[in-house]
Amino acid sequence: SAQVIHPSKLKSPYTQEQVAAVKKDVEAILKNKDYDDGSIGPVLVRLAWHSSGTYCAETKTGGSNGAGMRYEKEGGDPANAGLQHARVFLEPIKEKHSWITYADLWTLAGVVAIKAMGGPEIEWYPGRTDFVDDARVPPRGRLPDAAQAQDHLRAIFYRMGFNDQEIVALSGAHNLGRCHADRSGFEGPWVNNPTRFSNQYYKMLIKLKWEKKHLGREAQGAHWQWIARLPHMDEEDEPLMMLPTDMSLTLDDKFKPWVEKYAEDQDLFFKDFAAVFGKLIELGVTRDESGLAQHDGKAGEYKSA
């Protein structure tokens, strides 16, 4: 495949001051006492992930370039339910800084949110365009189905080009935010401080005694989930939750050692998460010498600097 230059060495379509101004404006809207647990950060992270996670390495389709979620074909995928909130929150920033593309804004907002919630610094490079090539819009069904198990996770994430360790590291994003009955059919947060990035998710997976709770939302694919309470929680308190896919990480000989490592070593988790999230938001973003991403999927893939 063609020799492709690492994006850090390419011309940026924006100045450093422009990028800094957008980052500052994203930071300023994160805290929101009327929304969920007081932050829009988690749903911004999910927006960055879902815009990238449609990538297929074999056909070089999908990924964040093009911001296809603006249109019904991708935005209306039931897997993307609820992400319109994230996009609406970012709209005033797009209006103020109209030079930034949606595709760049959505991925940058996720990176800013992770850092602001106490997570690691993640490398982000500009150059995504908002050009949507109809022939390359990914079909629905490319994002993971939470009701399934480890074989499904492997099928979905291997398609993007990730390995077992990277699957477990990426799953640590479930330290953030919650499930909403009206979006996915599942409900509740994974940890008791869901707006603070940490390795709690892995600790909870290993340490708590999880029980199956029947949900009965078959139409949404949400038959049941796992629930557990911390020792200080009352019966009336909202329990913590795990999706069937989350729990499958502890039921697999290759995944489980990584769950244990990340539960014990937050620094290792932060380092690995930063690398893998950086890789996620670059999927399918292949720039030419102008620094702008191509949309024909024909460019090679850059190797890490």
Interface with ligand ZEM, residue 198, by CB under 6 A:
no
Interface with ligand ZEM, residue 87, by CB under 6 A:
no
Residue placing its CB nearer to ligand ZEM in the complex, 48 or 293: 48
Nearest 10 degrees: Cα torsion 76, 116, 240, 274? 80
- Restricting to residues 125-164, name those near ligand ZEM by CB under 6 A: 144, 146, 153
Strand extents, DSSP E, the chain: 178-179, 188-189, 211-217, 222-228, 240-242
Supply φ then ψ for residue 219, to 5 degrees: -60, -35
Interface with ligand ZEM, residue 82, by CB under 6 A:
yes
Window 4-43: contact mask with ligand ZEM (x via CB under 6 A): --------------------------------------xx
Strand extents, DSSP E, 140-238: 178-179, 188-189, 211-217, 222-228
End-to-end CA distance of the chain: 17
| Beta bridge mates, 227 | 211, 241
Residue placing its CB nearer to ligand ZEM in the complex, 14 or 262: 262
CB of 280 to ligand ZEM, least distance (A): 6
Number of Cβ atoms within 10 Å of the Cβ of 106: 28
Write out the catalytic residue numbers.
50, 190
CB of 128 to ligand ZEM, least distance (A): 17
Window 51-70: contact mask with ligand ZEM (x via CB under 6 A): --------------------
Interface with ligand ZEM, residue 281, by CB under 6 A:
no
Window 235-264: contact mask with ligand ZEM (x via CB under 6 A): --------x-x-------------------
Count the residues in the chain.
305
What does 222-247 look like in DSSP terms, one character per residue? Answer: EEEEEEE--TT--TTSPPEEE-HHHH
Q: Which residues bind ligand ZEM (CB under 6 A)?
A: 42-43, 45-46, 49, 82, 144, 146, 153, 170-171, 173-174, 176-180, 183-184, 186, 243, 245, 277
